[in-house]
Structure formats: C-alpha cells, structure tokens
C-alpha cells in the first residue's frame, strides 16, 4: 500500500510539472526571449541603432523592476542591413534556432513587408515599431505596429499645406522603387486634390541616385507652392541642396523619414516642415523623462524611431504580463486591450492592429548657436 502511495505521489508530481511546461511553453526557462530585427548597419543605420538602443533601454528598465511574469527579458538582436532578403534570414533564424515567439521589427517598411506573411505562417507575433507602409498589418492577426501609417502622414501633410500654408499647387519628387516613398506619394496627392489643390508636377528617381537636377528643373517650371519629398533624411538633404541651388523657392514638406535631417542638411533646409512621431522638445513629462534617460545612457538626443522602439518594447512586454504568457494567440488579444499614454502619445489599436494616435508637425529652424534644429508647430489628431 505504501509503495502504491509513493508511486501515486510521483505520478502527481510528474503530471504537475508537465502541465506547467505545456502551459508556459518554456519548461524551466527563467527568461522570456524577444527577437529584434533592426537595420543597425547600411543606409539607415542611424535610425536602426537608435531604435535598437531604445528597445534595450526599455527592457533593462523592466528587468530592473523584476522582469515580466517573474522572468528576465532577453533580447536576441539581428541586423538586416536594410536588406529584405536578410530580414527573412533573420526571422527564420530567430524562429528556428532561437525559438522566439515574439519579434520586434523590422525597421523599414520594405524589410517588414518581406516577412509579415512568413511570421503569420509560423505563428510568430511580429510587432514593428517603425514600418509605416499601409499594407504592413494586412498579412494577418499576428502583425502589429506602434507607428502611424503612411496614408495618415500623407493626409496630414497635404492638409497642413492647404490649411496652414495656403498652398494651392503642389509638386512631388519620390523614389519610384521604394514602397515607403510611393505609398506616401499616393496618399499626399489624393488628399491634396480632394481638398481643392492641384498637383502640378510629379517626378521620380531610383534609390541611390545622387543627381536630381533634371527632375528639379521640371518641377521649378511648374511653379509649385510646396514640394513634397517622401524619403529619408540622407536623400532629402541632397535634394533640398540641389533645389535651392536652382532657385526653387517652394516650401518643402516631408514625412517621418526626415528625422535627423537637421544633422545632415545646411541652411537651405530652414523653413521646411515634416511630420513626426514625437518631438524631444515637447513639454510632456513622459517625453522629457525618456529623453533624459536616453541621453544619460547613450550621450545623444533620441530621434523619433528611438521613441517608437521604446514604446513598442513597453507595449509588448506589458501585454505579455497581462496575458500571462508570450503565446502569440493569447498575446494578440492582450495587445488589443492597450489603452495607455506612452512617449509617442496615447495609444489604442484599431481592428487592423494599427495604433490610433496623434502626429507632430515640426519646422526646421536655425538655433541661437547657428545649428539647425526643429521647432514644434503643433499636433494633428486622427479623424
């Protein structure tokens, strides 16, 4: 009888351990692994490095407070060099070798679009902090983001041009091979025309081009009030310089890709506007606390993509805490319960897993020290 009781007791213990293992999907692991895919080298490495560093900052803060579900969070970071093929390789590696169930990334829309369907197929929850292309979340119910969409950016800047700058004629110069640039162009032009404006010139170039003078000559002949440049800061700085050298005096407008423009361009960029996810100069306690902590750790002022990465880490890890697991099928429901103010604004999610949030309008100005900086103009709320 005694032997039977011992055997029964052992069986109970084995079953209990098995239940715990199956429930957590982790067995005795004392960490929660989160994959990160960022472009920390390549043409937008400044964005990718800051976003990665901000994610690490958030994770370190959470770990210092006891982690998530009593476990420490471990980041496994992969660099895709802004190469969609390498983004796919990174996802496969994270899924098969590292066995992660949640991935933060990728940085740019083209890289994220390369992996959304594969992440959905593999049952991985993919949360991009920074990919703004409208189609990013179309792949399925496991794809989320913490940034606003390109269509919202294009609408906002077209509305700003007409309502705040009294523009009636617009031109666009865009990268025809970049989904980010083409999506923004479509949104801007449609909204500008719908609001009563006229698009007098639309010119394109290929990524990597350095000479835009032929396109600028045609745009100048059309005499626009504003020129929309939907691209990243490194290319935009070249375009603005060549445009001003040709005597084009139109006010230039851009999206969040202009972040860091003030560190690349010269005085010719003064007086132009772009929308962004936040301003480090905003009079907001959450913003100022984030900026202070980031500066103390990394020695520089965090850009908008850093703020988005920081928010993304908190949104996902707080959702894991609420869900009691990092199982993507459970976690997706917890994410939809998000309703909280973060550094880049108060965030909830719509039915397509896109955040409902505001955008910030910034103006490029020259500071008292002669250096370029940005000036907060205002906020635009989603309609």
Residue 1 has pLDDT above 70, yes or no: no
Residue 26 has pLDDT above 70, yes or no: no
pLDDT for the residue numbered 282: 87
Q: What SS3 class is residue 204?
A: strand
Residue 172 has pLDDT above 80, yes or no: yes
Mean pLDDT on 60-80? 98
Residue 72 has pLDDT above 90, yes or no: yes
Mean pLDDT on 318-341? 98
First-to-last C-alpha distance (Å) of the chain = 73
Residue 371 has pLDDT above 50, yes or no: yes
193-202, 212-221, 253-262: which range is least confident on average? Answer: 253-262
Residue 23 has pLDDT above 90, yes or no: no
Mean pLDDT on 343-368? 94
Q: What SS3 class is residue 155?
A: helix
pLDDT in tens, 349-359: 999 999 999 88
Residue 368 has pLDDT above 80, yes or no: yes
pTM to 2 decimals?
Answer: 0.81
SS (H, E, C) 47-104: HHHHHHHHHHHHHHHHHHCCCECCEEEEEEEEECCCCHHHHHHHHHHHHHCCCCCEEE
pLDDT in tens, 105-161: 999 999 999 999 999 999 999 999 999 999 999 999 999 999 999 889 999 999 999
Quick check: 250 and 161 in contact, CB under 8 A? no
What confidence category does residue 380 fall into, taking pLDDT thresholds of 50, 70 and 90? Answer: confident
pLDDT for the residue numbered 243: 98
Nearest in space to 342 (alpha carbons), one of 319, 326, 320: 319
CA–chain centroid gap for 190, Å, is 23
- Domains contained in the chain, CATH given: 31-147+283-352 (3.40.50.2300), 151-276+361-380 (3.40.50.2300)
pLDDT for the residue numbered 4: 44
Q: What is the DSSP string of 277-335?
A: S--TT-S-HHHHHHHHHHHHHHSS---HHHHHHHHHHHHHHHHHHHHTS--HHHHHHHH
Strand partners, 71: 68
pLDDT for the residue numbered 382: 66
Report the alpha-carbon distance of residue 148 to residue 119 in Å, rounded. 21
Residue 9 has pLDDT above 60, yes or no: no
pLDDT for the residue numbered 53: 98
C-alpha distances in angstroms, 98 versus 76, 116, 222? 8, 18, 55
pLDDT in tens, 136-150: 999 999 999 999 998
Residue 43 has pLDDT above 80, yes or no: yes
Report the alpha-carbon distance of residue 183 to residue 344 in Å, rounded. 22
CA–chain centroid gap for 123, Å, is 22
pLDDT for the residue numbered 175: 98
Mean pLDDT on 18-31? 51
Phi, psi of 197 (to 5 degrees): -85, 175
Which residues, at least 6 apart from 290, have a Cβ–Cβ distance to it below 8 Å? 302, 307, 310, 343
Identify how many contiguous H helices and E strands the chain contains and give both numbers: 12, 15
pLDDT for the residue numbered 6: 43
Report the alpha-carbon distance of residue 241 to residue 261 in Å, rounded. 12
The angle at the Cα of 377, spanning 375 to 380, to the nearest 5 degrees, equals 140
pLDDT for the residue numbered 12: 41
Residue 14 has pLDDT above 70, yes or no: no
The angle at the Cα of 56, spanning 281 to 77, to the nearest 5 degrees, equals 130
pLDDT for the residue numbered 383: 62
Strand partners, 175: 205
pLDDT for the residue numbered 27: 43
Average pLDDT, whole number, for the chain? 92
Mean pLDDT on 340-354? 96
Residue 379 has pLDDT above 90, yes or no: no
Task: Give percent helix, percent strand, percent coil of the chain, each to the nearest 5.
Answer: 45, 20, 30
């Amino acid at each position: 009888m005694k032997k039977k009781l011992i055997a029964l007791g052992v069986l109970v213990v084995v079953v209990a351990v098995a239940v715990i293992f199956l429930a957590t999907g982790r067995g005795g692991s004392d960490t929660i692994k989160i994959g990160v895919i960022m472009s920390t080298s390549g043409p937008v490495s400044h964005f990718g490095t800051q976003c990665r560093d901000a994610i690490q900052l958030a994770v370190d803060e959470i770990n210092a407070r006891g982690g998530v579900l009593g476990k420490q969070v471990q980041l496994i970071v992969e660099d895709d060099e802004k190469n969609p093929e390498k983004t796919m390789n990174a996802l496969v590696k994270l899924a098969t070798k590292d066995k992660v169930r949640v991935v933060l990334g990728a940085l740019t829309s083209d890289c994220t679009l390369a992996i959304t369907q594969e992440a959905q197929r593999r049952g991985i929850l993919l949360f991009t902090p920074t990919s703004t292309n409208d189609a990013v979340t179309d792949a399925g119910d496991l794809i989320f983001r913490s940034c606003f969409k390109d269509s919202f950016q294009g609408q906002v800047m077209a509305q700003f041009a007409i309502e705040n700058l009294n523009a009636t004629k617009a031109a666009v110069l865009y990268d025809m091979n970049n989904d980010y640039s083409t999506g923004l162009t479509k949104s801007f032009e449609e909204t500008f025309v719908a609001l009563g404006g006229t698009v007098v010139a639309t010119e394109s170039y290929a990524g990597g081009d350095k000479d835009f003078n032929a396109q600028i000559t045609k745009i100048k002949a059309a005499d626009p009030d504003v020129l929309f440049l939907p691209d990243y800061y490194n290319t935009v700085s070249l375009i603005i310089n060549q445009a001003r050298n040709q005597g084009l005096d139109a006010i230039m407008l851009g999206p969040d890709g202009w972040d860091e423009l003030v560190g690349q361009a010269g005085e010719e960029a003064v007086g132009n506007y772009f929308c962004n996810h936040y301003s480090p100069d905003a009079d907001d306690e959450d913003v100022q606390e984030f900026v202070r902590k980031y500066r103390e750790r990394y020695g520089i002022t965090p850009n908008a993509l850093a703020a988005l990465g920081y928010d993304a880490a908190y949104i996902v890890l707080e959702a894991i805490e609420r869900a009691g697991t990092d199982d993507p099928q459970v976690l997706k429901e917890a994410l939809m319960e998000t309703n909280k103010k973060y550094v880049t604004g108060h965030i909830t999610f719509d039915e397509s897993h896109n955040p409902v949030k505001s955008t910030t309008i910034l103006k490029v100005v020259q500071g008292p020290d002669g250096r370029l900086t940005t000036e907060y103009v205002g906020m635009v709320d989603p309609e």
